[in-house]
Structure 1
């Protein structure tokens, strides 16, 4: 190959690969409630597979950085929901959080753990997010409520189902 073609190929590869990295804001988000509570998501996965429904999320992930909205729950009045969880981490950090309509961030579960907890949902839009910093592992989370709460599933592409 001549030098001009080789230079062009290297330049194109450098540009493509530069856009595929983890942003600094995603690396720093884990410890910033203000960034986690922000209206949008900013995340990067090395790999993500699994399924999210209105009742449960079963995800296997690698190199997860940032915050990823899993569910939004619109409460017409103050309500309660139970969330059971099982998280297994091989590396990095991972947590499940609830963001209330006033922007308060509550940690539901962090790192490798399992259990169940009752969440108080204030009236308005409540959001459940996964937050990671270099996390590699699996998570199962299940939602149950005594009432009829509308749960919106948000998948990894940011699309509402």
Structure 2
């Protein structure tokens, strides 16, 4: 028995938004939109390419685009949150991983820059050591690098 709740199962808007998002990314949606534009173009001579004829496609596409921006953003927010949760789970479950990175998406830009700089230093030291899997901290990498330099100097 699966005890995990279905996402957005209690929300009519959630179910509707998910269905529309899935459909809008499908081949059927693209073919439908293309067919609509072709029909609109074919009717041009019938309506003498009037301003109203042009306004129909402009208004329709503007409204659809406006609404799709919000649906796309909603889907991206959900996907991003799920991705962060999965990464947090991996960090929490991995021996030797830094728990300080759990919920890193909530860090300030300054904190993110500090962590980025830390990992850049770590990467540079790991490159010098030619062993990407051996070190876990800048201090360990610096010690390891110093030991190798000392060994080569002897």
Using structure 2 for the length normalisation, give the TM-score: 0.28
CA radius of gyration, larger in: 2
Q: Which has the higher contact order (CA 8 A, sep 6+)?
A: 1
Using structure 1 for the length normalisation, give the TM-score: 0.28
Higher helix content, 1 or 2: 2
Higher strand content, 1 or 2: 1
